[in-house]
Amino acid sequence: MGENKKIEIRDEFITLSQFLKIADLVQSGGEAKSFLLSHEVLVNGEKEDRRGRKLRRGDIVKVNGRDYSIC
């Protein structure tokens, strides 16, 4: 079973690309694009590959077997 980590945001939303940087999964937006092409990323249980996808409080992102809660 995956580990759950909380990602706190201050604004109304962050993009998936910003999330990947905050979660230390990538270093830049360019890396985010290739990361999304080569890894399965689920947002609320649905596969997502758009860097600009808006994430809001309550969303759950699953990457590499780990769950991240946006709060």
Higher pLDDT, 70 or 1: 70
What pLDDT does 35 receive? 97
The answer for residues whose C-beta is within 8 angstroms of residue 21's C-beta and 6 or more apart is 27, 28, 29, 32
Which sequence spans correspond to the domains of the chain?
Answer: 4-70
> 4-70 belongs to which CATH class?
alpha beta
Residue (of 55, 44, 66) closest to 17 by Cα position: 55
pLDDT category at 71 given cuts 50, 70, 90 is very high
Higher pLDDT, 3 or 49: 49
pLDDT digits (tens, 9 = 90+) for 7-61: 999 999 999 999 999 999 999 888 999 999 999 999 999 999 999 999 999 999 9
In this predicted structure, the answer to whether residue 2 has a pLDDT above a threshold of 70 is no
